[in-house]
Structure 1
Amino acid sequence: MLTVIAEIRTRPGAHHRQAVLEEFKKIIPAVLAEAGCHGYAPMVDSATGLDFQTSAPDSIVMVEQWASAAHLKAHLETPHMLGFRDAVKGDVLDTTIRILESGV
């Protein structure tokens, strides 16, 4: 099982982040129906008020779980993902992706 942590940095301004989140809402059902997908969730900072929290108001952190690298690769080539990337290209500055496996 692979866990993907993708930090998507949007252009400054809440409307850019919200535009990307709205596009995610459109594709989540299709992604969750893909073979090998065990989780797909866009996450944003929680307003906890804790002084040790790092915040990034112009970021979305995707937490994904995939059965294998082949499933993840196939996901990236689906029509809904190609359409998603095209729809958000004006709102996204960059994306950093970590692909993790259990360390124990």
Structure 2
Amino acid sequence: MLTIIAEIRTHAGTEHRQAVLDAFQKITSKMLAEDGCYGYETLIDHLPALEIQTQDPNLIMVLEKWQSTAHLKMHMQTAHMQQHFEMIKNHVVDVKIRVLESGV
């Protein structure tokens, strides 16, 4: 089982973050229906902030669970993901992806 953490940095301004969040809302059910997908969640900073919390209003985190590398690779090639990338490209500055497996 793989855990993927995607860190998506949007351009400054609530309209950019909201456009990316809206795009994820439109495709999340399609992703969850894919073979090998065990979870897909879009996360933003909790408000009001706690004193221990780091915040970034231009950052969206996506937490994913995939059965295998093969399933993840197939996911990245789907038509809905290609359309998603096209929809958000003008709102996103940078994306960092971590592909993790159990360390124990």
Same fold per TM (> 0.5)? yes
CA distance in 2, matches of 1:56, 1:70: 32
Runs ≥4 residues deviating over 3 A: none
SS in 1 for 2:103: coil
Structure-2 separation of matches of 1:40 and 1:75: 12
The equivalent of 2:33 in structure 1 is 33
Q: Which amino acid aligns with 2:63?
A: V
Alignment of 1:15-34 (within 5 A): 15-34=15-34
Is residue 2:79 matched to residue 1:79?
yes
Q: What is the CA distance between 1:49 and its match in structure 2?
A: 2.9
Alpha-carbon distance in 1 for matches of 2:93, 2:48: 26
2:8 match: 8
Q: CA-atom RMSD, angstroms? A: 0.7
Matched-pair contact (CA < 8 Å) for 2:8–2:95: yes
Letter in 2 for 1:10: T
Residue aligned with 1:93, SS: strand
Contact 2:49 2:55 in 1 (8 A): no
Query: 1:99 corresponds to which residue?
Result: 99
TM-score normalised over the length of structure 2:
0.97
Q: How many residues align?
A: 104
Alignment partners' CA distance in 2, 1:41 and 1:68: 18
**Identity across the alignment (%):** 51
